[in-house]
Amino acid sequence: MNYQLGGAVVIAGLLLAGCGENTTSVNSENTTISENQTTAAPVDNRLKEPAKDEKCAFCNMKVYQKNNKLGAFTAQAIDDKGKNLFFDDAGCMLNYEREHNVTLEKFVRDYDSKEWIHLEDAAVVAGDIKTPMNYGFAYFAQKADAQKFIDKHEGSKLVAVEDIDDKAHEKMKMKMNMQSEQMDDSTESHGH
């Protein structure tokens, strides 16, 4: 009886394996993914989706959900205590790290599939891209998909993660300078 059951399982497995195309690829986590597979295994089981009323952990602006057009730019981080933090744009995530002097595990959404990918593994495209905080970066799990996007969007180009951080740091410095000037103006008006 056990041999019959085992044989049936093997036959069922072979029949299922024969369905669809046999083309496969291996992603950065060494997980085999069939080309006709519509969703890949999650990059990290600790990742979550933002709540409907989620606010950016850095700037307190709305964080967009996966089904929203701007949801392609939502970023997520996991801190050293295992807490999930959400950001409306990846630049805010990098500024949060800077402001709080912490190191986060950083994730962004693939622009096309909206699936989470490690920021360090993403092909980053800069261009005239409308994002929640106007950082102008889109992220792709595959460099070929990034290139297709670049081909369709004049002026777009592949950049490094450091370019996001540079732009985020510059925006943070500008904001701090504006706040400092406002405080100076307030102090001067109270002094007269």
Question: Exposed/middle/buried for 130, CB within 10 Å: 0-12, 13-18, 19+?
Answer: exposed
pLDDT of residue 38: 37
pLDDT of residue 39: 40
pLDDT of residue 185: 66
pLDDT of residue 43: 77
For 14, 42, 57, 65, the CA distances from 103, given in Å and listed in that order, are 46, 22, 15, 24
For 1, 33, 62, 142, the CA distances from 26, given in Å and listed in that order, are 38, 6, 35, 12
pLDDT in tens, the chain (192 residues): 455 544 444 444 444 444 443 333 334 333 333 333 334 456 789 999 999 999 999 999 999 999 999 999 999 999 999 999 999 999 999 999 999 999 999 999 999 999 999 999 999 999 999 999 999 999 999 999 999 999 999 999 999 999 999 999 999 888 888 877 777 666 565 555
pTM of model > 0.85: no
Structural domain spans, the chain: 44-182
pLDDT of residue 177: 84
For 7, 32, 107, 161, 192, the CA distances from 138, given in Å and listed in that order, are 49, 25, 12, 11, 49
pLDDT of residue 184: 67
pLDDT of residue 27: 42
